[in-house]
Structure 1
Amino acid sequence: MKLTSIALTAAAATVAVAQPHNHAHRHLHEHKQRAVTMTTYAASPTAYVYLLDGQEISAEEVCDGLQDNALKFVDGSDPGVCSSSAAASTSISVAVPTTTPAVPTTAAAEPTTTSEAPTTSSAAASSSGPAEFYQAPASSSSASASEAPSSSSASAAPSASASASVSSSGTGISAPFPDGQLSCSQFPSDYGAVALDYLGLGGWSGLQAVTIAGGFVNHIVTGVSGDTCREGMMCSYACPPGYQKAQWPSTQGSTGQSVGGLSCSGGVLRLTNPSLSSTLCIAGVGGVQATNKASGVVAICRTDYPGTESETIPVELQAGETEALAVPDAATYYTWEGKSTSAQYYLNPIGYPASKACQWGSPGTPLGNYAPINFGVGASGGVTWLSIFQNSPTTSAQYEGTVELQGNLSGSCKYQNGQYCSSTGCNSNGCTVSVISGTATYVISS
């Protein structure tokens, strides 16, 4: 019998909430071919030792800890220790839990290397999971990738500055979208969508030409600069700070790809999720913001998810500015194979505006998907979870500045000089807290 120890720890001791797509609970922003890290085992029987604080504990205690989201695997790799087929014969070694609450994560995807803007999103078979999801299933265990939420997650409106950024020439962010009336060539800025002209996509945050067969999207071609929203495409869009996209189709990728935005059909733009909202943008749960105390501009870029999963949704902060961050509600926002989703943001180096930072990056430049730090935000069961963590293994670049979560929180979480510190100590991975009351703020400084 082969004896193997696989370390676990409390989720808050490393990273949690919306980790980057090549961390636990995400797949890579690679729009060509995805590769997935698989854990292989010897043909002979394998047993694992369960340890907590150096003391052996039972398999039941380990599985209870995983089920309650109090424990997670340090390396992000889950050998299925508590599955019905494995729980009786496998075990693991467990590290010391911390007092900070944990948020579940899932197995990590292995990155593939690209130095170009994405061109296609292959439908080749892949076990890679989608971006930023909670491991705990949604309220219905039978939920699938083709199901759409039925209610809005707007439980609290963001700050007034978010609404002020919407074009005053139109009917505004709260106006119902005129389904099937606007030409696909017309970007819907009059209905709250924020045009991202610097991407060269006609204002859209992402374009996906999709092929549907058997009730699933089985092929996706991702638009590049110079493309426009046209027939057969899903046309995704950005919303103002504090708001998030409300439209995505129930038909999703056959191998885990996400698809989002309005559809271009019959030459006009059509809603894809009217049961969630008749508007293009909905508010997040509220209570989370970012403030820039650095000397230069700061760009925080959210993943366009569901959609192309590129880092194109901007929150740009000039020195001294504060903006809301949209926090999805796990109970009502996008689900993937029954798993609720959270949001992921990329913190770019001080001095780079959104037009430079909030798009597909390249190795050697710490921008976009190669930004050094990620923020994970999400709300589940009435609790808002926040994290700061290293964008690893995509990059080992260190952020040249300080980031600290402030407010009435369950603990402390701060990044400085390559270390993520909480009340239980420092590490090179990340830290997580929950919001007890009031507003939590990501404070960014030089």
Structure 2
Amino acid sequence: MENFRNHKRSKEFDIFCKPYLLSSVEQLFDCEIEYCDQPISKIQKDYGIDLLSNPKRGTYIHSASEVTIIGRVLEDKSSKYAMSLTLKNGEFSSIDRLLNVFEAALSLTLSRSHKFGFADRPSQFGQELIELFIAKYYSKGFFDHRRFLLLMELFKKLATTSFEGRNFTTGLIITKSHYAYAEKGENYRGGKLYELNSPRVLDQINMLDKRLWYLSDGQSSFFVCNKQLEMRNCFVLDDSTINPDDFNKKHLLSETLLGADALLRVTSENELSIVGASGIEFNYKENRWRIRDLRQISKIIKETLNVTDAFVQALLYYVFYLSKRRFSSIIWIPTDLSDIDSYLMTKNNLTNDRFSILDMNHKSTLLRLFSSDGASVININGDVISFGSVIDISKASINGVKGTGESVSTLLGENGMSVKISQDGKISLFGVNGKGKIII
């Protein structure tokens, strides 16, 4: 195995392909990337790892926040050239197995493009690579990844489709266990399976019937297909209400998706997600993919603020509600209440008694309060201290092209944690230990 720099067309790759690769990987994992085309000496020097002793190994986990992925050019199943991507300041503790699938997809793409001197379609190292990786991840050992790619293409189209002038949400479960959804053999998946009057086979010709897809909402009802993409059933949950006290369970359908099951759904305009039994979710928004593990995110919030599980679930409920409906909002959870007046220029309360995010009776009112202009302030017990607050921007340092909202959120993150929801639906956490910002 040689360093990739020795490849006679490595300059072609650097100019045309590498920008696609680094951009898509950085966005997917929300991390910093160190690229190296001479990894044999570099990895030995930095980590004491001899790549030549195990040329078939593709991933090395250095810590929960730093990993190295070896991209290999394969010929006759042997590693001929190698490059490395060291991902830093990310969150990899819960997705270590998934990284092996990504490395395999990267090496497959490198090996194919190598045959053409890296002169064919540089874009295959961008979103095409990410989608190949996602399809391989969900299909491994159960489905044909090419069929899964077709479903991903379908749902990207559905996310931009309207019915009678309105965008809509929808969902599809792909499974090899129809019998379990039909409650056979003492199985129960949290709902009931109904047979469609007119079954469909999803293929390139017969797949974008928006009148049909509109009938599944992707929250309480889902179409169901098998690995041949034969769609014969609709599955309806017995209880689809998502409440602040069980957000993760209902959002991830943890009682429904088991084994090799995967759910594809349009969650809002121009946004879709894919989730499986592991709970790891791939979110597609603004023409880019991002991976998120809500269970790990919940753990990070809990440890950063030293709050209860109930608090975390309630916070995520409100944050995701605002995100899906494209409400711009800033929510601040300070850990030192004695210092908050130095940040706030105004404080607003609707009632003398405080509302709580832990009380489901308050959720309708709180959703409206949190979508008002200004920042909402919540203490670590879940009580809303203020809403629509004006922040003293003079304390914030604005660097580069960072907007006012991000500058304010960064400032507030110095005391506890702040959550910023943008009008495009992007969710950012500020104040997490060791990180300037986490995008979820």
Interval of TM-score (by shorter of Structure 1 and Structure 2): 0.3 to 0.5
Larger relative contact order (C-alpha < 8 A, sep ≥ 6)?
1
TM-score of the pair, normalised by structure 2: 0.34
Which is greater in Rg?
2
TM-score of the pair, normalised by structure 1: 0.34
